[in-house]
Amino acid sequence: MDSPAGGRPSQPSFDVQHFIGYVETTTDALRLIMAARQGIIPRITRRLNDSERRSMIRSGAVFVFCVEESGIKRWTEGLSWSPSRIVGNFLMYREVGERNSNRGADTALLPPGTSTFRVVPPSPPSNSYYQGKPHTGGARDPSGSVRPSGLIKKTITVKVSGTDHHLVSYYREEDVARGLLQRPTSRPDIMRLTIPPEMVRATNFRHPPHVEIGPDGNAHM
């Protein structure tokens, strides 16, 4: 592939690192945010520069950051995106047009319940866009043509200890279908983590994940 979005994902050689994989569920996102807080996986502590964006924004890239620590209020990467769609507890976007540093670069990452999170119809259309399944060409979007092998961006905001933690993930549907991107469930060190109940209680999830509180007082999913 001649684009950073193509090919098998690999770790960049910059001082900024990130998790490589596929965030399928809200539980996956919670585990990765917890892992980032504990230093098990890297978290973003500053805004990426242009060179890092070009090399790191690719299929499988997952970034976790806290606004207070990183100073990042709006996530930018220089790609053009379709309007957002709410899928479960995530905001999802499809890549459109060509890479452009001036158009469609900003993604608002605001807590659930704000005006950015629009009301979802009770029964969304049963198509691959909403279900997160492989999609085959022909789709059009008001902001431009959806790239047939373009990236999908998936974001979620979770409140932890009173602060907003953001997760931004990128993937190509064919990479997921071919099994090139592993979920956090493949990492024993991440699966050993316990999720504090406050991570679920403090965030106004549209679809709360199934949580059981164990004898130790921790949430298990």
Report the share of the chain in percent with pLDDT over 70. Answer: 66
| Residue indicated by tokens 């995530």 | 90
- Whether residue 6 lies inside any domain: the answer is no
Per DSSP, helices labelled H in 43-166 are 50-56, 67-70, 128-131
- Identify the DSSP state of 185: G
Domains: count for the chain: 1
- Whether residue 141 lies inside any domain: the answer is yes
Tokens of 179: 């099994």
- Whether residue 3 lies inside any domain: the answer is no
- Whether residue 47 lies inside any domain: the answer is yes
- Whether residue 78 lies inside any domain: the answer is yes
Q: Over the stretch 134-167, which tens digit does the pLDDT of each residue have?
A: 333 334 444 568 888 899 999 999 998 888 999 9
Q: Over the stretch 81-122, which tens digit does the pLDDT of each residue have?
A: 999 999 999 999 999 986 544 444 445 444 333 323 233 333
- Whether residue 62 lies inside any domain: the answer is yes
Q: Over the stretch 1-31, which tens digit does the pLDDT of each residue have?
A: 334 444 444 444 334 568 899 999 999 999 9
User: What is the per-residue pLDDT for 123?
Assistant: 34
**Domain ranges, residue 143:** 19-220
**Helix, strand and coil in the chain, % to nearest 5:** 20, 25, 55
- Whether residue 11 lies inside any domain: the answer is no
Tokens of 212: 């059981």
- Whether residue 4 lies inside any domain: the answer is no
157, HSE (Cβ side, Cα atoms, 13 Å): 21
With a cut of 80, say whether residue 36 has pLDDT above it.
yes
